[in-house]
Chains A and B, each alone.
Chain A
Amino acid sequence: MNELVLTLGWLGIYAPMALGAAASAIGCSIAGMASIGAMTETEGGYGRFVGVSAFPSTMVIYGIVIMFTLNREVTPENAGGLFGIGILSGIALMYCGIWQGRACAAAINATKEKPEIFGLSLAPAAIIEGFGVFAFVFALVISAGIS
């Protein structure tokens, strides 16, 4: 039984990093495909498109920081806490990354028609980033209570 609990603890430590990496990969690829499409239709502003498509890469950074914060000796007493915080923060980061990628793709698609709305079109992606930051910060706060 103890082995299973310890395994879950290790899973919790690595989950934010793994799920954050998956989130960034999917989000960046979604936004990246939009930027490639937009480049074939527009005459300039390619750098902006590529820059926006890199937005979801922050999720893996949050995941790495959470992983290092949770990284400690895993015991039967702290394994449950590590598992809960790690898995749930990882899932939150994954959803944030994927949907941020979609929001960025929509922003790129709109910006190619109306370059003047570039800043405003990024508001939904920025709001999603805020939710990712919530998941990140409170994972750090809560992890301080695990022995």
Chain B
Amino acid sequence: MPNPDAYIALISSLPGSERLFVAKQPPLSRLRLDRRLTALTPEDARVLKVLEHALNWGDYDIGVTDAQAIGRCNEALHDISQPTLRKMLIERMDLRTVVAALRLRKRGVSPPAGSFGMGRWARHIPANWNDPSFRLEGPMPWIKEAQQLLDAADPLGLERLLLSVSHKQLKRHAARHYFDFEAVVIYVLIWNIFDRWAQSNAQEAAKRFEHLAQQAMANVADIDFDGANA
């Protein structure tokens, strides 16, 4: 039976997930997060690793095939017993399936035969290939905006929209989990979204790089490379 109070100290030792998105500096580095996550039991740590491995794009080779990606997710579903975590993984796969279908259709690819991707809409999407939103406006109201961003060739905007949708999905699940293992997993997945969000902020990154470069070069002018100060 799951213990609703299993990770009270761990959850309380993490900065609030809302603070991740408003802070100028990340309140928690991955190194510190990993150090805190050592409080997980070996079994829970393994489940978290499996889930992150299935969701993180960084863990996929650039040439990964659909079958390999689906196989990895199915393996993850086999290893994960918590209903909430399974639901979260399936929801994320639904989202990725829909976005992949939107991209394929934009390229002019004809509807795939049978099923496409994985999740609840694998058969529904090919059957409604010619509908602008695959007749999924109800369960996925963001699909119209995603289509518009794709048409406008705005990958950064699309990335942010998808991160925001994923974040909302996780927050919905977080409302039912406070101090249990699911709450820890939700926190880590939100941290991953924050990390990707921060990486996608090119302007801020450029400013920060310039600032760091200026800081690093501040004393360089005073150095005489022959060994004497200017």
Contact = CB atoms under 8 A, between A and B. Distances in A.
Interface in B1-28: 4-5, 8-16, 18-19
Given A30-B5, A105-B179, A35 B16 contact: no
A105 B183 CA distance: 14
A40 B14 CA distance: 9
Contacts, number: 48
Contacts of B129: none
Interface in A109-136: 109, 112-113
B9, B15, B18, most chain A CB atoms within 10 A: B9
B9 A109 contact: no
B197 interface: no
B13 A40 contact: yes
B69 to A, nearest CB: 36
A37 B8 contact: yes
A33 B178 CA distance: 14
Contact of A113 (B9, B10, B19, B179): B19
Interface residues of A, number: 16
A37 B16 contact: no
Contacts of A102: 4-5, 178-179
A41 B8 contact: no
A17 to B, nearest CB: 24
B12 to A, nearest CB: 3
A106 B178 contact: yes
Contacts of A70: none
B186 to A, nearest CB: 14
A106 B5 CA distance: 11
A19 interface: no
A106 B12 CA distance: 9
A105 B11 CA distance: 10
Given A105-B179, A113-B16, A113-B19, A37 B9 contact: yes
A5 B70 CA distance: 64
Given A105-B179, A106-B178, A33 B8 contact: yes
A21 to B, nearest CB: 19
Nearest to A108: B12
Interface residues of B, number: 15
B84 to A, nearest CB: 18
Interface in A17-73: 30, 33-38, 40-41
A112 B12 contact: yes
Contacts of B10: 37
B8 A30 contact: yes
A113 B12 contact: no
B5 A41 contact: no
Nearest to B8: A33
B13 A37 contact: yes
Contacts of A106: 178
Contacts of B13: 36-38, 40-41
Top 4 A-B pairs ranked by shortest CB distance? A37-B12, A37-B9, A37-B13, A33-B8
Interface of B: 4-5, 8-16, 18-19, 178-179
Interface of A: 30, 33-38, 40-41, 102, 105-106, 108-109, 112-113
16 contacts: A33-B12, A34-B9, A34-B179, A36-B9, A37-B8, A37-B9, A38-B13, A41-B13, A41-B14, A102-B178, A105-B5, A106-B178, A109-B12, A109-B178, A112-B12, A113-B16
